[in-house]
């Protein structure tokens, strides 16, 4: 996970803030194709992706925006319902 800003929680751990992107350790770009070195995104290998989603709480306290392209690549689209209808109307 990578973010455009950081903050420190009460335990002294660096956490992501502002805009977050999905990032795989060992690569120099996010899943949506942004180069980490050019965009000056900070890396957070200790924070799992699920913890930065606003509905989970946890590390998402100061997250303002989740990249929709990265969220789709990780299997979740913003605004996507967590339920589905088994027998929709015709």
What band does 82 get if pLDDT is binned at 50, 70 and 90?
low
What band does 34 get if pLDDT is binned at 50, 70 and 90?
very high
Q: Are 17 and 27 in contact (CB under 8 A)?
A: no
Would the pLDDT of 87 be above 80?
Answer: no
Least confident of 18-22, 24-28, 74-78: 74-78
Residue 38, φ and ψ in degrees, nearest 5: -80, -35
pTM of the predicted model, to two decimals?
A: 0.79
DSSP letter string, 13-45: -EEEEEEEE-B-TT-SBBTTS-BHHHHTPEE-T
Q: Domain boundaries in the chain?
A: 2-73
d(CA 29, CA 62): 22
């Amino acid at each position: 996970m990578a973010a455009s800003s950081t903050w420190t929680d009460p335990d002294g751990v660096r956490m992501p803030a502002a805009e977050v992107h999905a990032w795989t350790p060992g690569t120099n770009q996010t899943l949506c194709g942004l180069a980490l070195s050019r965009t000056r995104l900070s890396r957070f290998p200790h924070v799992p992706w699920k913890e930065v989603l606003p509905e989970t709480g946890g590390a998402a306290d100061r997250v303002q925006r989740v990249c929709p392209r990265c969220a789709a690549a990780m299997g979740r689209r913003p605004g996507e319902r967590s339920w589905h209808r088994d027998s929709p109307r015709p």
